[in-house]
Structure 1
Amino acid sequence: MYYLILALQGYCIYHMVKNRTPYYWVFLILFLPVIGCIIYLVTQVYNKRDAEKITSDITNIINPTKKIKDLENKLAFSETYQNRIDLADAFLEIKDYNNAISHYKEALKDTSQNNFYATTQLINAYFRIDDFENIIAYAETIKHQSEFKKSKSQFYYGMALKHLNKIEEAEINLKAIDIRYSFYEERLALAKFLFDIKKETEAKEILNEIYNESRHMTKTNKRLYKSTIIDVEKLIKELN
């Protein structure tokens, strides 16, 4: 029972941090372990469709390598393309980027597959380790596909171009994700980039747009993008 309570507390705090739930929940979770966790799960997390996922998440918190071991065994038993992608995704999820990259690259050797998803995940993994040259190399293999346009992969591509001082190309790709009511974190990065290249007016417009949009966000999105909104408000105050 003691370990179950610890697991519940761990899951609730993990969920709270991941979803940027107001910090006061931590006191309820820690000081009223059973009742606090139940209240948090019922009001912030739970519905019937989520029950299986919650159980899985708690298991992964207690033993984060279990999912990896299960998927490794599955791949060893049946070396399919999808099994390898699932394993790579699991490594990416636990921030083991080198192993994720290794498996995505192995999956890409199967040219009979539509490798768009694997390539975007590989770009994501390379972005996490600041390998900008490989981001560009792989992004350029899919950048002409329609799904690439206005995607996070295009944002990663733009940021990689920026870091390699390819400013004009970076600006084109970063501006592609300037879409209202979406890409809040990416648009904040775009605004900072525009400040860096002395396009203050455009940068201010983006900051003001994000701020105005934040006034109409759902409670869920306000929690999810809380830190981004705080950064936007801070920058706006500094400019005034």
Structure 2
Amino acid sequence: MPLLALLVIACQVTCGLHVVRSGQERYWLYLIIALPGLGCLIYFLGIMLPDMLGSRRGRHALNQLHDSIDPQRHLRALRDELDIRDTRETRLNLADELLRMGQPEEAATHYQMALRGIHIDAPDILLGLARARFALGDFAGCRDALERLIDKNPDFRSADGHLLYARALEGLGDDLKAEEEYQALNRYYAGPEASYRYALLLARLGRLREARELHEQIQTHARRAARHYRTLHKEWLDLSRQALRSLQAD
């Protein structure tokens, strides 16, 4: 048998033993068997090396690798935790992960169930519920959750929640009220998203000059800002630039 084949088999045996002894997920065994050389390399870099180093960077890389191979693993763990102890935190964590994974309907159910006892009007839960309702296209439900949040928690502040409220109003066709909220957001929102969405509303209402001026303000501020700002908000700055070009062409 060629030496290379023997080395590959030895690597497979070593990695397989590590999977079993360290209690790793069994899908690693399938990967190691199905892709003898590559599977062993991925397992070594993703599991064995970070385990040996024990570094924070290694653990982060491991989590990213796990997510790419098995994106449902966090959900399974959170569901298991909820089965063991049904608390505000476990249900909220599961709802947040479901929303992140694009499952807003189930997320909304868990947010709603978390609104109980002393947490019946908790602002973080209501904000999560509003996000889930918006993702479902239930703009009225989103608006109602946010209005309840503010009514019961008048000192709570969330720029993202405020932006969500403006978007929900726009989704409901209440353009006048939505514009009022966008104007308020435009004065304090940290990134360009709020201004970008306000400019889109203005363009949709036929107020093209105002929309163009707002996009120009976004781009001017970005040019004057630090590189970190442009990197952090690249998505919205690119969208604004494209919208500005379209308006200038009209």
TM-score (norm 1): 0.72
Corresponding position: 1:56 with 2:63:
yes
Corresponding position: 1:130 with 2:140:
no
Matches within 5 A, 1:8-157: 49-112=56-119, 115-144=122-151, 145-148=154-157, 151-157=159-165
Quick one: structure 1 residues 131 and 113, their matched pair in 2 at CA, closer, same or farther if it must change by over 3 Å?
closer
Matches of 1:51 and 1:114, distance apart in 2: 39
Matches of 1:218 and 1:3, distance apart in 2: 42
Matches of 1:146 and 1:228, distance apart in 2: 29
8 A contact 1:7–1:58 mirrored in 2: no
Note the alpha carbon deviations across 1:145-182, whole angstroms, 9 max, x for none.
Answer: 34346x12221211221222222211112222214672
Gapped runs of 5+ residues in structure 2? Answer: 1-36, 46-54
Corresponding residue for residue 29 of structure 1: none
* Structure number with larger C-alpha Rg: 2
Matches of 2:202 and 2:87, distance apart in 1: 44
> How many residues are aligned here?
202
Matches of 1:196 and 1:186, distance apart in 2: 15
Quick one: structure 1 residues 70 and 239, their matched pair in 2 at CA, closer, same or farther if it must change by over 3 Å?
closer
- Indicate the structure whose relative CO is greater, using CA pairs within 8 Å and at least 6 residues apart: 1
Matches of 1:154 and 1:168, distance apart in 2: 16
Corresponding residue for residue 211 of structure 2: 203
The offset of 1:6, in angstroms, is 6.0
Identity %: 20
The offset of 1:219, in angstroms, is 4.1
Matches of 1:88 and 1:131, distance apart in 2: 17
8 A contact 2:196–2:236 mirrored in 1: yes
SS at match of 2:118: coil
Note the alpha carbon deviations across 1:106-135, whole angstroms, 9 max, x for none.
Answer: 001233466101111111122222111111
TM-score (norm 2): 0.70
Gapped runs of 5+ residues in structure 1? Answer: 10-47
SS at match of 2:98: helix
The offset of 1:218, in angstroms, is 4.3
8 A contact 2:166–2:182 mirrored in 1: yes
